[in-house]
Structures are given as C-alpha cells and as structure tokens.
Structure 1
Amino acid sequence: MRHLRRDLSRRRHRGLEVREVEVKFVKGNEAICLGAINAGCRYYYGYPITPQNDIPEFMAAKLPELGGVFLQAESEVATINFMIGTAATGKRVMTSSSGPGISLMQEGLSYMAGMELPALIVNISRSGPGLGGINPSQGDYFQATRGGGHGDYRTPVFAPHSVQEMYDLTMRAFDVADKYRNPVMILGDAIIGQMKEPFVEKPYEPLYEFDRSWVIIGAEGRPTRQVTSLY
C-alpha cells in the first residue's frame, strides 16, 4: 500500500493528462441521426411511422442546414426507390422505418442487393405481426437477418444495446455498406430508440478506403457505367 500511495502521489504531482469530452444527453433515435451526419450522410428519405418518428423529424431540421436533402416520400415503396437512385451516384443515403414499413421496402431492398448498392436502413421495430404495437419487443429479427426479399440475399445487421452504440454503429454501418456495396441494417426497438442516455459524440474515422469506380456520374472522357440487378 505504501508503494501504491507513493506511485499515485508521483503521478499526481507530475500531472496526468485529462481529456475533457463533451457528454450529450439524447435519445437513441437522435444518436442515429448524429452518427449518420458525422459519417457524411446528406440524403434521407422516409415515411412516418412510430416509434422512429424522431429520426425524420431530426433529419428534416438538420440536413437542409448542411446542404443535404430530406424528402418525405409518399410511401415506403417510393422511399426505397429514391434510395436506389441516390446510392447509384455514390452518395451516402439513409432511411428509417418500423416493421410494416420495412416489409413494403423488401422488393427494393432485393434490387439494391442485386445492384450492389450501399445504403443504410434503420428499423426501430414494433412488436408482433400486422400493425403490431409500439411497445419494445426486439422484434423483426428474422426479417433483418434472413434478408427479407426474394433472391436469398443477406444484409449485414447491427443491433445496438445503448445510445452510445446507436451513434457508433451507425457510422460503422455506413463503412460496411460502402466496403461490401450492400444495404446494411440497424435494428433497434422502442426502448433504445426513445430512451435518453449520456453519450460522447466521437469524431468519424473511416475504417476503409472505398472504391468509387462504379458510381453513376457524368461519363465525359470515359466509358459509360451501368448498375443493374439483371445477371
């Protein structure tokens, strides 16, 4: 104990580096938005459904300030097709919904997987089949992990267990989507989406270098490119 006190005293007198970090107190749904924005997402399309409505509300207020695009589509079917167009240009794009809305997106998700287009889909799940309920249930597991649409594809799935992970894993999800050119899903529920916790808004650091040679942009001076799900 004497040696411990001596060592601690030396450290105290020499001075320890203390890094001050800003701790924020936000909902899980809001943490997803902050993670997406910090990862470079400037395009959000969606359609309202509880318990994820904090996400489009946040993005509707924030993205125009950043020169981004928020669009409330006429349906979830339209939403996923808007995403196909944006993802084909190499832009980071996100939508969010709940179980019934994700079901309506399944055909478009299958096309995105076939076209090898990266995007982020957030499912703040409901409980039970049909309209279900907005109480927390950790539902939609099979829908998320078994692909959902036709063609036996799979989507990487991140399942955060805290508000901090809602933020951290959203940034990672964009990296994984870009690396593997595949839709990626964040799967949460009403509790983690609505509860508030302290979290630290860490700076975004990309995990990989991304190939952009496939994106659909102006073709002047080079052969045209094509994105298709027809093999």
Structure 2
Amino acid sequence: MPILLALDASSSACSAALLLQRDGVEERLVSRFALTPREHTRRLLPMVDEVLAEAGVSPADLDAVAYGRGPGSFTGLRIAAGVAQGLAYGLDRPLLGVSTLEALALAAHRRHGVEHVVTAMDARMGEVYAAAWRCRDGITEALLDEAVMPPQRLQLPEKASQAGWYGIGSGWWLWEAMPAEVQAGVTQRDAESEPAAEEMVVLAARDYAANGGHMAHEVQPIYLRDQVAWQKGG
C-alpha cells in the first residue's frame, strides 16, 4: 500500500497532502491548504506534521516524497525543494517533482469534469507561465508544453482549437491582455485557484507507480525563465 507525501509553496498558497493507496486505488487523502503569502517557511513543516498525524502515519512509513517543482515563485520553489529534499534524504526515500501547471489542470478536471484546460499562472514581469491539457478519466495529457510568455502571445492548440476551454490559474487575471482567439475559445475561467498538494500527490502517485521516483539530488525546480518559446507538446 504505497504512502506518498506531497508539499507545495510555488505560489501565494502553501499546502501539504498525504495519499494512501491500495492496489493503485485511492484509499485516503489528507490535505492542508492555506493562502499564506510570505509565510511559507513558517507554515510548511507544520502542515506536513498535521497531515501525517491525521493519517496516523509516521515519516518512516512514507514510500516517497513529492513537491511542486514549478513553474512558480522562485523563493517558494526553493523553500519547497529544500524541505522535500531534506525529507527524502533523511528518510532515504525517492523524490518526485510535480508540475504546478499540471496540478492546476487536474484540479479543474476533478472539480468540474472539464476535458480541455489552459493553465496560466502570473509569472510577474508582465508574463504568464502557461500550458494546455486534455484531461480524461483523471489522466492529464499535455497539448502544449509549459512556457513563459507575455499574455498577448498565449495560444490555444491548433488541433483542438474548437473545443470549449477552461482557464485556471492566477494568470487569468490578465484576461484583457490575451488575444481575441483565446478569449473566444476559453468559455470558463477561474483566476482564484492556486496549485495545491492535493492534486500533486495524486500525480506523484501515478509517476511513482510508473518509475519509482528519483534520488533526491536529481529532482530540481523548474523555473522556465530561460525557456521563452511557446512550443507544442511532444
């Protein structure tokens, strides 16, 4: 029965979640989430302690640790990476990095049953972190690679341009700056939601089942600042 812990500090939110699975099926999910700008260092470890205690699990029971590896706040990503790597090293457990944008896409799918999702997070400096996804039966598939760009350059995937898209993430506060084609294709949007460990732990469980995770030093944050092209997913 795999037991996984995920934590995240990539945005103004801070979160932790613990997932217990039996035969690949979610048996119990315990999570904490709070909007805590500039308090991530103080709040993250207590959240981890809380989810472990509520689930009746000790750190030694964990099979793997995961964290939101980005894109997101540079400081927040470093905080989460430090905590997650420290836990993985100390427990001699594998570490998994989970995309914050993929976690947002899964959240939209789980909450609203939507299939086509465009995720966009405010990247500051007049840019957004963005990607596009197809979500079916709890499975996410990237249709456009994650990239950082001005909102004016945001596009929808050509092969699915006629779909009714759901936009999620803080980047959608920049709606007025986005191209007319995007505004026409995105029929619903949620600019309030932030990435959360609750979805990250589900994605981490998928990856853990597939490859078992990685050594702690091999999993690094993804900042995207040196990747400025908007590219189609492979």
TM bucket (normalised to shorter chain) is: under 0.3
More strand per residue: 2
Structure having the higher Rg = 1
Query: So what's the TM-score if we normalise by structure 1?
Result: 0.27
TM-score (norm 2): 0.27
